[in-house]
């Protein structure tokens, strides 16, 4: 690193490189340094918006939780994949139950209606099970998005919405070049 000061202190664990000075922070405090983009996203959003996005964008809420590294990079993909798959499965069983119901209505004077009724009940039960699993998964991801909002990777609240970081303080922080190295 050119210029600036780097200081390593094994007692605290992290070393931060600043252009003017170095500050050692404990590992627990180092996780609370977030990017400007994340800070603005949390300040300009709400938990309710995170929950709503988990429904209409099929999101996992991962973008509302701070990670120092790109942990769980495929979580969003798998969540969207599962939600689309569950919606498709539920839709399939709904159409199948509707078809079986129309077969009951088209049976002539009750002939063969026992088989049609059994088929309808089977398909309708499949639809209810798929609908329950889909609703449960959507509910889980909505609650998870609510809990994740403004937290670090350990689900500790970063208090971004309640903090008041002034613009001049933020400019001082944003001029810092972070060269994070972990001392074990």
- 3-state SS, 49-91, equals HHHHHHHHCCCCCHHHECCCCCCCCCHHHHHHHHHHHHHHHHH
Residue 10 lies in a domain: no
Percent of the chain with pLDDT over 90: 35
The Cα–Cα gap between 67 and 124 comes to 43
Residue 183 lies in a domain: no
Q: What is the pTM of this model?
A: 0.69
Whether residue 125 has pLDDT greater than 80: yes
Residue 34 lies in a domain: no
Residue 108 lies in a domain: yes
Residue 96 lies in a domain: yes
Q: State the residue range of the domain holding 130.
A: 54-63+71-155
**What pLDDT score does 106 carry?**
79
Are 165 and 39 within 8 A, CB to CB? yes
When pLDDT is cut at 50, 70 and 90, the band that residue 149 belongs to is: very high
* Domain count across the chain: 1
């Amino acid at each position: 690193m050119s210029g600036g000061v780097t200081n390593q202190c094994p007692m605290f664990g992290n070393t931060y490189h600043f252009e003017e000075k170095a500050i050692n922070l404990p590992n627990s405090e180092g996780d609370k340094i977030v990017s400007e983009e994340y800070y603005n996203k949390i300040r300009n959003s709400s938990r309710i918006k995170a929950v709503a996005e988990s429904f209409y964008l099929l999101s996992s809420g991962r973008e509302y939780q701070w990670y120092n590294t790109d942990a769980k990079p495929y979580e969003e993909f798998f969540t969207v994949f599962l939600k689309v798959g569950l919606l498709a499965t539920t839709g399939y069983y709904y159409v199948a139950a509707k078809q079986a119901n129309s077969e009951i209505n088209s049976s002539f004077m009750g002939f063969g209606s026992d088989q049609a009724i059994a088929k309808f009940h089977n398909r309708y039960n499949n639809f209810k099970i798929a609908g329950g699993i889909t609703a449960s998964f959507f509910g889980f991801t909505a609650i998870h998005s609510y809990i994740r909002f403004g937290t670090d990777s350990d689900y500790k609240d970063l208090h971004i919405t309640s903090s008041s970081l002034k613009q001049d303080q933020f400019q001082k922080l944003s001029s810092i070049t972070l060269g994070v190295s972990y001392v074990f």
